Amino acid sequence: MFETIAKQIAMHVAATNPASLSEDDLDDAMRELQGIIGVESLDLHHFYL
């Protein structure tokens, strides 16, 4: 059962096509873009509450 769940999680992570496995591997431009997207997402989430 654990292996099945682990495989499903791994498939979901692979499907998202992550830019890196950790934040330390991202370049500064990508890190800045992620921050902007995160802030905009928070703003939209707050708007719909």
Q: Residue 34: which H helix or E strand, with range? A: helix 28-48
| First-last CA distance in the chain | 37
Question: With a threshold of 0.95, does the pTM exceed it?
Answer: no
| pLDDT, tens only, 1-49 | 999 999 999 999 888 877 777 777 778 877 777 776 666 565 555 555 4
Q: How far, in Å, CA of 20 to CA of 37, rounded?
A: 16
